Amino acid sequence: MLILASGSPRRRELLGKLGYSFQVEPSLFEESAKGLSAYETVLAFAEGKAEEVLSRFPSACVLGADTVVEEGGEILGKPKDEEDARRMLRRLSGRTHFVHTGVAILTERTRRVFAVTTEVEFYPLSEELIERYVASGLPLDKAGAYGIQDGYPLVRKIKGSFTNVVGLPTEEVDTMLKETLGGTPC
């Protein structure tokens, strides 16, 4: 049995498109990352989320993931409120940043923990666009206060995995799941 240790609708959709049957069990893992880089943070959080769910379902294969946006060495997680979303979008406007997603695929006998990084360049954003986007409510549950898939003209170009920016690097996840599960989807 494959379990996705996340309540994210985006991760659920991406994993489903790979053809795996799975159940969703959001993790109860408490996130705390003092002193860790963005890359180390996503690795630690993905593994912590997967470990917590595996402790409840020891015979399962558990997939945990965590995504953050990093700009100028600072981690931009999910915004606290609309004003925080505006602040993040202004900060990303016209700049290049990195999206890191950590992934942990754990069973009783195997541990595969890795991270994927994608470079993202934003267009310069007008205040009108920022206000319209924030008013839509879409940025409020996303790292860095944006979703590349939301249909707003934010992203000029990316270098790397598009699905990583959405929240789950599907090519790498598919490869690791097949290795973990012996080549067959659950």
The catalytic residue positions are 66
The DSSP output letter for 33 is -
DSSP-based three-state secondary structure for 116: strand
Q: Are 127 and 95 in contact (CB under 8 A)?
A: no
DSSP-based three-state secondary structure for 178: helix
Q: Are 49 and 4 in contact (CB under 8 A)?
A: no
Q: Are 42 and 61 in contact (CB under 8 A)?
A: no
Q: Are 5 and 53 in contact (CB under 8 A)?
A: yes
